[in-house]
A and B are shown apart, each in its own frame.
Chain A
């Protein structure tokens, strides 16, 4: 009569216990270390890779002219502002001449004096010539007279002596004239020096260009060699790019490049590799190259702006390709895990080029059609049991 409650209760309790132990077992087998590892798999296909090289560079001007004085001095005036366009020969600024102008004036005066000295010396020379010819004539007349006995030895001697005097005087005046000439030349040369020095104090643009920097304002003292104004040729902007040497194989002049300026992330500008620098950076282990723009971007990127440059290498012939996430190093060898139902097998491979999207070329060790493991929930070993899934748990699409 009252059989049911007891049996019912027993059944219920047994049911609860069974459920408990079942979930226990489930938990132990499915989520612990005993469970199979979920993996995703892809089939190896033969593809033609378009490898590319990636480097970071800065925009630089090919030609930068740093205009400054050749002697220490003070800047007197700067005629241009940063951003001005200048022409070849345009005055950019001027150093303070200090006493140079006065010295030039003094030199002008000296020049004038020297110039005046020449005709004076010439006049004197002419006078001496006249005197000398007169003395010569006199001397020869008196000689004649002496021979005629109408003059005394003394008179002739006096005239002879006068002749010598005037000869000497002539020579002296000729020398004076030479001195005057040389003096003139010297003063002229000195003046030329000062004038050239004065010209040196003028800062002049050597070519057409754009003022990139104005380093000193009027009144600043600068030393020799310190640039006051920097002028760049804006049409000569290029990108100085550094490529990590490990990933710079195949870089050479002429390859097409895409330049993404930092301020315009997303917009790429076409360019070309102009040259690969013969001297690389041994400290940072980078190869340097220069990339020029096909057309200069408008507005001009400032010098020093960072740019990301991608150089496209010529496409490679088709070969089996795997994603680089599949490649692992096990026991010192590079290879991939081949998917075999519920277990995996390691196959060593030889890698070729890898493109920027992570696709790696297999030169040896795999054929198209093989199924390789791409992603796994845990690290794999030779005896790991695996289970094929579409997507790993915990990874959103």
Chain B
């Protein structure tokens, strides 16, 4: 038995490989788009995993702290420590802002964590360089995505922080790198503006007769002092004791403390459904379009190749080749093209995925599904050419 498809590919291998590479780049783009989506979901999961929390306690009736702003008093955590099933509770603040280093600034999520020691909720779980924060002020642990190096001084609002540790994959759900600083510094950063704004505020307060009473000498100072402190945090991260389910611990807090509490599953659902939903739909549409385009390209190429051989196909039919054989040749060519394209696409996607600014996660499952889809597309796309080939009248080989 001879493989007509194989011989044809061998004979015009340049055309096939060239087409395969072109198709492969298209497939690579498709795989990358799926990877972008998976990356976004992974970002959200990483965010939740990295916080080290089992429960998120936030302001009542908010979807915070990631989907919506939430503000709690910073002494709420003390009352939570006494609730049944709570092993640890720690304040945490989140603020997305520009962090300056030298002449450049990087968009990051500044996380204020309690500098109690390793393993506290909110602290990064593992480092790739340096150490965790030990001092209560002016130290930072940054994610490598921010491109800071150990020992560099970065500026957050009015203070300079020394980078003492580096982490990996600690990113916000939007893909911004995280920078961990002590909680009190973060509270100041969230609240205090730059020196000009503070001076203006002081001027305004001093000019106000309500606060600047001549008969009460200490009043103005007390008011100014209260304006420059911030007793709020965005959330309290809670770790539960073994033997308690998260819902068991969450329900009393919701009821008696009049706060909103989310378990890990609820947070995941929130982030994936609400934050990523629109992007997911866009990517899904894009994937559908790419699949259609791929199918069209394969169909077009195979059809053109077949039409180029139409006289030979007529001759083959005339001299007695089975229709089945001809159809198999065309379908094998389409599948071969698809295989070449897919392999090229997968390699291309793997090579260029790390260069993307956001995290692209190429899952083996997606690769397998993509391969199967590609094969199905190739088979279906070849049907057009097969139909044309089979319709050819062998009598055409004999001139009129």
A: which residues have CB within 8 A of B? 6, 9-10, 13, 16, 20-21, 23-24, 27-28, 31-34, 54-56, 221-223, 225-227, 243-244, 246-247, 283-284, 308, 323-325, 327-329, 331-332, 334, 351, 354-358, 360, 374-380, 392, 394-396
Contacts and interface: CB of A to CB of B under 8 A. Distances in A.
Contacts of B134: 54, 247, 324, 354-358
B138 to A, nearest CB: 7
Interface stretch (B121-129, B189-197, B282-290, B308-316): B121-129
A228 to B, nearest CB: 11
B100 to A, nearest CB: 18
A324 B363 CA distance: 33
A324 B117 contact: yes
Contact of A354 (B10, B117, B130): B117
Nearest to A24: B343
B115 A244 contact: yes
B84 interface: no
A226 B221 CA distance: 13
Nearest to B137: A56
The interface centre, meaning the residue of B75, B125, B135, B184 with most chain A CB atoms within 10 A of its CB, is B135
B287 to A, nearest CB: 20
A331 B239 CA distance: 10
B165 A325 contact: yes
Contact of B131 (A54, A324, A380): A324
8 contacts: A20-B343, A244-B115, A324-B118, A354-B117, A358-B134, A375-B127, A379-B125, A395-B144
B10 A13 contact: yes
Contact of B350 (A27, A226, A329): A27
Contact of A332 (B87, B129, B144, B362): B87
A9 B11 CA distance: 9
B385 interface: no
A27 B347 contact: yes
Contacts of A376: 126, 128
B346 A246 contact: no
A17 B131 CA distance: 47
Nearest to A55: B136
Interface residues of B, number: 51
Contact of B239 (A223, A332, A395): A332
Given A10-B10, A246-B115, A324-B118, A226 B217 contact: yes
B132 A324 contact: yes
Contact of B137 (A13, A54, A227): A54
Contact of B135 (A20, A54, A221): A54
Contacts of B364: 28, 32-34
A257 to B, nearest CB: 14
A327 B118 contact: yes
A283 B187 CA distance: 14
B217 A378 contact: no
Nearest to B136: A244
A230 to B, nearest CB: 12
Nearest to B185: A56
Interface in B340-369: 340, 343-344, 346-347, 350, 362-364
B215 interface: yes
B49 interface: yes
Given A325-B127, A325-B130, A395-B144, A334 B118 contact: yes
Contacts of A284: 184
A36 to B, nearest CB: 16
Contacts of A56: 136-137
B376 to A, nearest CB: 20
A200 to B, nearest CB: 18
A247 B120 CA distance: 14
